[in-house]
Structure 1
């Protein structure tokens, strides 16, 4: 935002952020989202517009997308409540009946509280072994502590089981220990004081025999600023990236989980940019990944993710979505992405 309160174009925003060295920080200002609170918000107008969109001659998908992708999550919750009060109908159920396919999935995800959406994604992943590592690391390692606690509370309420019980029964070995440690959320907060001795001790531990007693506490308890210093010192000391050591010493799910967590710690927006790029490279785009990331990051750091995507892959996220995504859901995903990066 400029001092006068006007909006800056995305490319200008990124240019300023990159000069300030903020493009790689996760929501450093809390304004790195593409979706902001809608200023001329009228809950009544929005509720009426959505009602007209589903009760007219045909379903007005563009009106539904326009309203829901231009309001903050908090505003969408207010619209849901107003719709219920005025029509005695549940907005979520009404839209679900009117829509289908990936657009239905996007709208359902937009209308749910963030913690419920996370809880459902986590539960689905833990029950489907092929995506457990990827999704569990993403949710448990990138959500703020309050949002993670809320997600775990909703998980227990909705599924009548603690997330830790599902993790314990569905995973094993280092992966299980890593996920359980992330659920506990005991990561140190950054004090602003650099502890050089601790960094040296951690580098020596990482250089020693590879046991989960070394790696799990290191990657789940130390603050990211400290860990980035450890990663740098490890590389200077051994001549190899910490990730290379993980690849050489671990296999399967344990390796995938440790690499994912290291990637989150080093540069969270780049971690998400890589995941989006991968989801777009598949023969059929992985809509579940695209929907989850764009919706969960559009109010926090999607501008940073876009900047990392363009820098690494030489093509904007907006163009990549435009080329790969087909059907009704394209306009919704493009609206969340917001703009082209030149």
Structure 2
């Protein structure tokens, strides 16, 4: 079957969970960068009557995050105010949110998104699932450190008060970023725990998924299919329900391809009634220096239209312009 061929190819393809390169990002460092000049231009764009939004967009989407941090420092040195405060004072709504996201260090942005997802009544599980399934161990460690620095509490303790049941156990296992290798024949173990007598041994299943050594997990997907005749995702979907199913399916999708999983999240965020702007902002900003080019390629493959044109059709104004600049070339 086509899927089996896909699985065989999978074993040799790179993974966004392990590749630590920005080669597949849409945003690159600006050559000849000058933080002082940029800070002055931003200041000028916000002072006086009316804000020059185009300047804000061009500068902030045309620099890497590391360069934006230097701009923030130069801005504060000259004005005595933080760039974030001034952006919040001069812009509003989704446009304000995306500019602030761009000038926030990546681990801090993940931390802010985590806090936003767990604030108020009811936890936004879709956001938690997306973050913990798609981030590498290194990113989760950085998020965890940022959370501790910001709140004085541990991320794991916070999660324990937010989530429960097998879903909670699985999410916490992912958040503990264990990267130790697990030497077992994955497919066999999962088959024993799964198809044969599902429901008795979710913990074994969760343990394997949360250790996420990508080569081993991919090998497991291939073995599972040849052992049980169906894909692991199909098994999870037929045997589980609710948030645990959502989380484990997301993990399996990310083991196969983080960009494909995120392309699907973006598509869902733009479908139906109203656009989910916070999802678009989070994914485009957080992947802009990691694998957004791959997300774009997967989007086109999966939906037959470019991510650029989908974003263009679903968003407008300065916010839409900012998203399109992050997207990069019209493809």
TM-score, scaled relative to structure 2:
0.89
Match of 1:65 among 33, 49, 57: 57
Residue 129 of structure 2 corresponds to which residue in structure 1? 137
Partner secondary structure for residue 317 of structure 2: coil
Hey, what's the Cα distance between the residues in 2 that align with 1:330 and 1:273?
A: 18
| In the alignment, structure 1 residue 152 sits paired with structure 2 residue 140 | no
Measure how far apart 1:129 and its partner are. Answer: 6.8
Measure how far apart 1:199 and its partner are. Answer: 4.5
Unaligned 5+ segments in structure 2 are: 1-8
Please give the root-mean-square deviation of Cα atoms over the aligned residues, in Å.
2.1
Hey, what's the Cα distance between the residues in 1 that align with 2:278 and 2:288?
A: 15
**5 Å matches for 1:280-299?**
280-299=270-289
Measure how far apart 1:28 and its partner are. Answer: 7.0
Q: Is the CA contact 1:25–1:269 (under 8 Å) kept in the aligned structure 2? A: no
| In the alignment, structure 1 residue 213 sits paired with structure 2 residue 203 | yes
Closer, same or farther in 2 for the Cα pair 1:205/1:187, shift >3 Å? farther
**5 Å matches for 1:234-313?**
234-313=224-303
Measure how far apart 1:229 and its partner are. Answer: 1.9
Hey, what's the Cα distance between the residues in 1 that align with 2:304 and 2:20?
A: 24
Q: Which deviations, in whole Å up to 9, do the C-alpha atoms of 1:176-204 show, x marking residues without a partner?
A: 111111121113469xxxx7845444444
Residue 11 of structure 1 corresponds to which residue in structure 2? none
Hey, what's the Cα distance between the residues in 2 that align with 1:215 and 1:283?
A: 36
Hey, what's the Cα distance between the residues in 2 that align with 1:126 and 1:40?
A: 41
Closer, same or farther in 2 for the Cα pair 1:198/1:272, shift >3 Å? closer
Q: Which deviations, in whole Å up to 9, do the C-alpha atoms of 1:8-61 show, x marking residues without a partner?
A: xxxxxxxxxx9xx86x64257530000001112011110010011001331000
Partner secondary structure for residue 340 of structure 1: coil
Closer, same or farther in 2 for the Cα pair 1:265/1:340, shift >3 Å? same
Unaligned 5+ segments in structure 1 are: 1-17
Measure how far apart 1:256 and its partner are. Answer: 0.9
Hey, what's the Cα distance between the residues in 1 that align with 2:265 and 2:122?
A: 16
Hey, what's the Cα distance between the residues in 2 that align with 1:244 and 1:85?
A: 56
**5 Å matches for 1:102-181?**
102-127=94-119, 132-181=124-173
Hey, what's the Cα distance between the residues in 2 that align with 1:249 and 1:266?
A: 20
Closer, same or farther in 2 for the Cα pair 1:269/1:152, shift >3 Å? same
Q: Is the CA contact 1:203–1:230 (under 8 Å) kept in the aligned structure 2? A: no
Measure how far apart 1:63 and its partner are. Answer: 0.2
Q: Which deviations, in whole Å up to 9, do the C-alpha atoms of 1:84-109 show, x marking residues without a partner?
A: 10111111101110001111000111
**5 Å matches for 1:88-107?**
88-107=80-99
Q: Which deviations, in whole Å up to 9, do the C-alpha atoms of 1:286-328 show, x marking residues without a partner?
A: 0000000000000000000000000010000000000111222
Closer, same or farther in 2 for the Cα pair 1:127/1:96, shift >3 Å? closer
Q: Is the CA contact 1:34–1:337 (under 8 Å) kept in the aligned structure 2? A: yes
Match of 2:222 among 232, 242, 259: 232
Q: Is the CA contact 1:69–1:332 (under 8 Å) kept in the aligned structure 2? A: yes
Closer, same or farther in 2 for the Cα pair 1:238/1:189, shift >3 Å? closer
